[in-house]
Structure 1
């Protein structure tokens, strides 16, 4: 593409072709995040005395449910369009999934999985949540490759002033305008949360069971609320209310209330190892 007299190369969202099948970088990046999350969860699970097979079994159930819920969530808030184009509802390969829908599907699956296996859901969520936010941070780079999840119009000078690398700035030239790289902001927010949770989760007398997960919810929803406000492709209620901002606010408040309420109970174990 031509950019104000400067020739820039937009990154190809297609990684390679396998016969008639096009393999997208988006899928490769998402899969990489999932695999890394699984490896790290298994390692932490051993410290908690959780059989590693539980994580493999859970993933087999959670992945399809999360994908279906992510698509359902997206379609539900774009219903005026999909009600007129019902044949496109299942066309997930054309884009249109929502991370909050995937998280909801994953948590619901975990609830029933833990009940069936008679293991603590709070402990499983504490193990999984740091790796989940890591996978979310990695996954945002799939949005980068697809030139999506971007923000409002900005200038090249504004992006340069943020010390953003040239190859990212070039990819943010979309529709004849430079765009705010909200994908990058959220990725950095998520990966920072991942590092903090890793550094803090074994600190003596810092977290009780379930509080690593609640901290993840608060951290992610807090950042998502503000970053979502910069985006131009948000799912909306009406024309002024952003769905993800409303859900982020609700999740943050609920997580804080649950954390305070549980702290007032006795008998909850501290994580000390």
Structure 2
């Protein structure tokens, strides 16, 4: 589509940045209200949340860069151009969670209540990021497909380079000539749907909340599952474990995200069991 929302002289305000900023502020307000309802002191949370956002963004960008090392080694400055899109939400979750953990260990701030309260904001960030990807055009591109759901970008759509961005895997090259106008999986929308599902689930988990940490680890678990099933197979990403690829349907297994998701699913199940046992023992 068109990456630029509005231009003011030489300044270009991009959809990606605007949407993520809105998601951060709305997510902060939702977390703040949730913590108030639970009776937690907001002052420590307000001290740490800024740094959680900063290191969440750093982790998100670093995670994305690590999935395309060849491209960023040749174009190192591109790693700083975050407004071009390209964020790993696994990296964002890790960066933000480690920040909360640092302040928990260093200053004794609550850990699991803060992480639980932040989950709807992360879901909003996923939705905003994927809509921003859609506006950028060349972000999180889908594979060519002959399925009826294949989407052909209109001629007026902007944001497409002449070649595929970040190519460092032979499995991607075959699509470059047709990528711009061929029918592709609209994976930006698939990803936004994943975020929307997680938003509603997060609100449900927060209401249910049998113990602190429940919503956070459920989020990590189901984000890993939903992303791996509903989005990643259809994205034009390098296959770290090339187990299966169907060029006609536009499906590929397994990408870096899918490989990383398996241990995260196992870790989430372990932590849910561990925290649940701790809660039961304390009753």
Scaled to the shorter chain, the TM-score interval is: 0.7 to 0.9
Q: Deviations over 1:99-144 (max 9, x none)?
A: 2222211111111123344222111111111331232123211111
Alpha-carbon distance change, 135 to 153 in structure 1, aligned in 2, over 3 angstroms: same
CA distance in structure 2 between the partners assigned to 1:184 and 1:255 by the alignment: 26
Corresponding position of 2:121: 131
TM-score (norm 1): 0.79
Q: Which range moves more in the overlay, 148-157 or 183-192?
A: 148-157
Alpha-carbon distance change, 222 to 180 in structure 1, aligned in 2, over 3 angstroms: same
Tell me if structure 2 keeps the 8 A contact 1:211–1:259: yes
CA distance in structure 2 between the partners assigned to 1:134 and 1:123 by the alignment: 19
Q: Deviations over 1:244-271 (max 9, x none)?
A: 111111111110122123333355679x
Q: Deviations over 1:20-55 (max 9, x none)?
A: 221101111111111110111110010122233334
Q: Which runs of 5+ in 2 are unaligned?
A: 159-177, 244-253
CA distance in structure 1 between the partners assigned to 2:63 and 2:278 by the alignment: 35
Q: Deviations over 1:65-123 (max 9, x none)?
A: 22222222222332233333334443334443322222211111111123344222111
Corresponding position of 1:62: 52
- Listed as ranges, the matches of 1:115-126 within 5 Å are 115-126=105-116
TM-score (norm 2): 0.77
Corresponding position of 1:260: 273
Number of residue equivalences: 251
Corresponding position of 2:2: 12
Q: Which runs of 5+ in 1 are unaligned?
A: 1-10, 161-165
Q: Secondary structure at the match of 1:149?
A: coil
Corresponding position of 2:62: 72
RMSD: 3.0
